[in-house]
Amino acid sequence: MTTLTLSRAMNEGLRRALENDPKVLVMGEDVGKLGGVFRVTDGLQKDFGEGRVIDTPLAESGIVGTAIGLALRGYRPICEIQFDGFVFPAFNQIVCQLAKMRLRSLGHVSLPIVIRIPCGGGIGAVEHHSESPEALFAHIGGLRVVACSEPADAYSMIQQSVSCEDPVILFEPKRRYWDKGEVDTAADPQAWLSLNAARTVHQGSDVTLLAYGPMIRTCVEAAVAAAKDGRSIEVIDLRSLAPLDIETIRASVQRTGRCVVAHEAPVTGGLGAEIAARITEECFYHLEAPVLRVGGFSTPYPPSKLEDHYLPDLDRVLDAVDRTFAF
């Protein structure tokens, strides 16, 4: 086991992907000489050359459009979108071309492209640098949408995403880039958890708390705090947002009878709404209370001095847990 930050684990995963397949390319704004804004691609251009780690113009539609052309020629591009709010100029390429090609060609043409998107707030950034647009992509058929929350997952998920024949949108929690964790870089990839699978990170029996990405650490802290008051919270890291691992979710909720879904994105139209609906459909007779949601507010992401009021914290998560016992 090696102790790595999430950003370093992602770097090591990218390095392995580049080593294992000469058709893998990394492309994006400042990913080469600078090593990325968050230094996730640090040192890769030096080791693999400018032909495989490519500094692109500031044009997200061009980055994704070029990646689509490369994938059609047999390459496996990894695109870095520098910040979450910058992805929207490429949204047309992603929705109209990237997501549709495999079905359009009846499976004869695949576009094995990974789009890495640092997501969420908590870093004191300016407008368009702290958004959580995952629900927009999870709504689009033909895309796999995944989110890592800790270093070991970052290391394995980037490599699994690169190997996938479907296009993958990989969300990385930027305020967790400096969190450290144990990573087994020598593990057999066959032993890795499936890219489609959820993971139970804290066992409990009274309430199921579903989250992903940057909220996992907050939810585990909430579970530890709740235990002092005699409440047992099970925390599940969804990991895969599209498709959902509904089997793992169902098994937990049927056992606990209560569920809270937490994410940084606004509650209105957020992924929590889809999850709550699915749980209600599949676990109705096991529920002791409605499925509750915790998330951001229905406003644009605020200036950095106000983001602590916007982002769901331990108290807001615990309040939702308490409310599930009020019904």
Tell me which residue of 326, 296, 290 sits closest to 308, measured CA to CA: 296
pLDDT at 280 over 90: yes
Sign of the alpha-carbon dihedral angle for 78, 81, 84, 86: negative
Percent of the chain past pLDDT 90, that is, above it, reads: 99
Q: In this model, does residue 224 exceed pLDDT 90?
A: yes
Exactly one of 129, 202, 286, 309 is catalytic; which is it?
129
Could you read off the pLDDT of 126-154 as tens digits, one per residue?
Answer: 999 999 999 999 999 999 999 999 999 99
H helix or E strand, kind and range, residue 281: helix 271-283
> Catalytic residue at 129?
yes
297: closest CA among 312, 284, 277?
312
Q: Which two tokens stand for residue 229?
A: 């008051």
Residue 155 contacts residue 13 (beta carbons within 8 Å): yes
- Residues 288-302 have a mean pLDDT of 97
Report the chain's mean pLDDT, rounded to a whole number: 97
Residue 310: closest CA among 293, 288, 295: 295
- The predicted-structure confidence for 32-83, as pLDDT tens digits, reads as follows 999 999 999 999 999 999 999 999 999 999 999 999 999 999 999 999 999 9
Task: Write out the two tokens for 268.
Answer: 């209105």
- Which domains are assigned to the chain? 2-191 (3.40.50.970), 199-324 (3.40.50.920)
Condensed to tens digits (0 to 9), the pLDDT of residues 151-202 reads 999 999 999 999 999 999 999 999 999 999 999 999 999 999 999 999 999 9
Question: What would the two tokens of residue 292 be?
Answer: 């509750």
Q: Say whether pLDDT at 327 is over 90.
A: no
Say which residue the tokens 């939810």 belong to.
Answer: 219
CA distance 169 to 58: 20
| 121 — pLDDT class (breaks 50, 70, 90) | very high
Q: Name the nearest CA neighbour of 145 among 117, 125, 123.
A: 117
pLDDT of 316 > 90? The answer is yes
